[in-house]
Amino acid sequence: MKPIFGRGPSLQLRLFFAIIVSASLMLADSRLDAFSQVRFLLNSMVAPIQYAADLPRSMFDGFYERFSSRQQLMDSNRSLKREVLALKSDLILLDQYREENQRLRKLLGSSFVRDEKKVVAEVMGVDTSPYRHQVVIDKGRLDGVYEGQPVINEKGIVGQVTFVAAHNSRVLLLVDPNSAIPVQNIRNDIRVVASGNGQTDEIQLEHIATSTDMEVGDMLVTSGLGGVYPEGYPVAYLSHVDKDTRREFASIKASPVVDFNRLRYLLLIWPNEDRQQKVLQANPEQMTKESDNGAQ
């Protein structure tokens, strides 16, 4: 019985035939360029399909590239902001250090600072109220500080040490109500006692007869009486003089040369040994009596 469908060429024969045809076409195309137009037509037909197929990938690549660039810019911007902030903080510190150096130069180079031993101290704490004006400094007994030691800055008299610990000390300011300092008027050498009244920008002269020669603008300096403060250090300028003849004493006020609201660095001074012994043995009543005698 014969099969319904006749057998065709074998698989090997068909493969051989396909190889021969393919080789012939490739040879003809390479030598004669016979299929260039067909190839161009096929490319033209396929190009839109390729573009459509490639469009999602192209869009994703473009979006990813833009997102990456934006992210890089944002990261770079944040990094630059941090650098700018760090640089600004460095500049602030640099300005602060420059100011501190200028203050120290003024403090050590002040024209009235003499050859006496001196040490720079920094204010660690402030204790101020209407009835109390004191500061704590970072120098103490181990630095040679002693009670009654005079304290100045680049402008003039600040006050004196009233308490000494191992590593710090307490300074009674000139404007404290418990402070009194023997001074003299540069213009006429009249000696009086100036005392604090609790105001940071004012001290007063008490028990001065109305006939005493005192004028607004006169400069007061330390008189050296009592041995606490060396002679000649600036203290204040007379700012108010009221000589009411109906009263026994004149009302006299003075503006300190030191700005007590801006104390940062102070200068501890060591007078000569004789003066230091006077400080340690000084009697406040005796100091006041000597100054009052000078004002009469």
Phi-psi category of 91—alpha, beta or left, where left has phi over 0 and alpha has psi -120 to 50?
Answer: alpha
The answer to whether residue 199 scores a pLDDT higher than 60 is yes
Say if residue 243 is exposed, middle or buried (CB neighbours under 10 Å; 0-12, 13-18, 19+): middle
* CATH 3.40.630.10 describes domain 117-295: no
Among the residue ranges 64-68, 218-222, 224-228, 278-282, the one predicted with the least confidence is 278-282
* Domain ranges within the chain, ordered by starting residue: 35-109, 117-295
DSSP-derived 3-state class of residue 115: coil
pLDDT of residue 4: 53
Report the predicted TM-score, pTM, of the whole model to 2 decimal places. Answer: 0.61
The answer to whether residue 238 scores a pLDDT higher than 90 is yes
Cα 216 versus chain centre, distance: 38
Q: How do beta strands 157-164 and 169-173 pair?
A: antiparallel
The vertex-187 CA angle with 183 and 190, nearest 5°, equals: 45
Sign of CA dihedral 193, 196, 200, 203: negative
Residues 205, 253: contact at Cβ < 8 Å?
Answer: yes
For residues 184 and 235, what is the distance between their CA atoms, to the nearest angstrom? 9
